[in-house]
Amino acid sequence: MIESNKPNVAIVNYGVGNLFSVQHACNNVGIKACITSHKQEILSADAVILPGVGAFGNAIESLRKLDLIHVLKDVATSSKPFVGICLGMHLLMDESEEFGSYQGLGIIKGSVIRFDNPVGVFGKRLKVPHVGWGCIHKNIDTRGNSWETSMLRGLSDGECMYFVHSFYVKPKNQNIVLSNTQYGNIEFCSSFQSRNIFACQFHPERSGLQGLEIYSKLASIIKEQSKER
């Protein structure tokens, strides 16, 4: 029997991504997670997760065909938590250069760019895509104490998360960047927070206990918001 007081989260299904892994992570921390492409279920949820693995162009076209672009923009302008993961993070941006030039949702100002020949120690060329564990470090340019008011609160500076990506986001406003991660000689934005929107390049659902902690924080934020209503 599902507890009625569990946070209700919509995981956006647009045919791309590891949806069931995200749902399983949500369930593990007491979140009632529904995988859906129905507008009303997305709009009525306590929070929305936009996951994704795959090509940017195919993903934005799928969202367009499902008529979900305006729905996601409505969520972005609401007060409810809106989470973008990996490709979902990319889709929030203005544009992407992945296999061409594509317009994104335009919710966050900035672009998605490819790793440009990352080089590791002793000048060794690193593989793209970047697959594996990487450390997230607090962005020293972020104003205030936003790390501690985001879904990263309670995690240590330098925590390791699991990444799978060939592209990364470059927000125009560096003050929204929560964490940066180094891949060879390239430092990239690995998470950001803008208003009600949290997005991360890594996969919390594949990052062990520290990743589950991020989902736990989402549950806490939803409950805190419900008390304020």
What are the catalytic residues? 86, 203, 205
Amino acid at 220: S
Strand partners, 144: none
CA-to-CA dists, residue 216 to 71, 110, 151, 199, angstroms: 25, 29, 8, 15
How many C-beta atoms lie closer than 10 Å to residue 27's C-beta? 13
Report the alpha-carbon distance of residue 217 to residue 223 in Å, rounded. Answer: 10
